[in-house]
């Protein structure tokens, strides 16, 4: 499965047309991705038929959220639900860099059937194995974990990603979705080591590798071909 980052309706429609299986909708990509506006959210959810995972991130300072931050988070999740969406991208850590289970359960309790991607806050966890085992308890709602294996990119984190994929199979928990630095040039090497079933791409599938530009159809087809055949 190929997931790509989009920032607006035009990009989401284009991504679906070019064969993306799912999109992650964000704003402020230069800050790593924040919660999109209500207007953008409404436009995108009403324009595509593929799944839309909406980034829920109130600020880019860190992944530690105050009670006030969580009030904003809950309001944003409710907006997604009110517009007919059910997919969100969220992650929160305690001050000791363990998974913030209270923040997670607060969101899970808002609606039955939420589809949650726990994002790259996971890469800052004190122990990825421990964090995975914690998230596995919520596998009915936390469907996948976006991670680069704790490294700056998936190439350097591929061995750890492979270990996490094996752990996910052992525990039958959330899927591991490699993301961070993936490109048409390295996806084959990463995929052969990691063996995941879904991958997350950003600017590497864009024209001139820029979020200012649209998608590069040829590169997307290359990526999809590699993912499907491993070649």
pLDDT in tens, 28-78: 999 999 999 999 999 999 999 999 999 999 999 999 999 999 999 999 999
pLDDT in tens, 64-80: 999 999 999 999 999 99
pTM for this entry: 0.96
Nearest residue to 225 via CA among 38, 6, 2: 2
Query: In the chain, which ranges are E strands?
Result: 2-6, 22-25, 52-55, 87-90, 115-118, 142-147, 175-178, 199-201
pLDDT in tens, 132-187: 999 999 999 999 999 999 999 999 999 999 999 999 999 999 999 999 999 999 99
Distance CA 191, CA 188 (A): 5
């Amino acid at each position: 499965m190929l997931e790509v980052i989009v920032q607006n309706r035009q990009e989401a429609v284009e991504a679906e047309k070019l064969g993306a299986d799912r999109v992650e909708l964000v704003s402020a990509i230069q800050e790593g991705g924040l919660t999109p506006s209500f207007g953008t959210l409404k436009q995108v959810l009403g324009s595509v038929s593929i799944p839309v995972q909406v980034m829920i991130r109130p600020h880019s300072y860190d992944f530690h959220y105050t009670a006030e931050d969580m009030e904003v988070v809950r309001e944003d999740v409710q907006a997604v639900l009110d517009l007919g969406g059910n997919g969100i991208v969220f992650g929160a850590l305690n001050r000791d860099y363990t998974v913030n289970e209270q923040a997670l359960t607060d969101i899970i309790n808002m609606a039955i059937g939420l589809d949650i991607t726990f994002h790259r806050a996971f890469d800052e966890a004190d122990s990825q194995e421990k964090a995975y085992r914690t998230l596995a308890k919520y596998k009915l709602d936390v469907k996948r974990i976006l991670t680069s294996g704790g490294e700056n990119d998936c190439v350097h984190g591929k061995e750890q990603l492979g270990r996490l994929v094996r752990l996910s199979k052992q525990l039958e928990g959330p899927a591991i979705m490699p993301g961070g630095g993936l490109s048409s040039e390295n996806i084959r090497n990463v995929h052969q080591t990691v063996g995941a079933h879904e991958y997350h791409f950003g600017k590497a599938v864009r024209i001139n590798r820029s979020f200012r530009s649209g998608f590069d159809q040829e590169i997307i087809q290359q990526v999809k071909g590699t993912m499907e055949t491993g070649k």
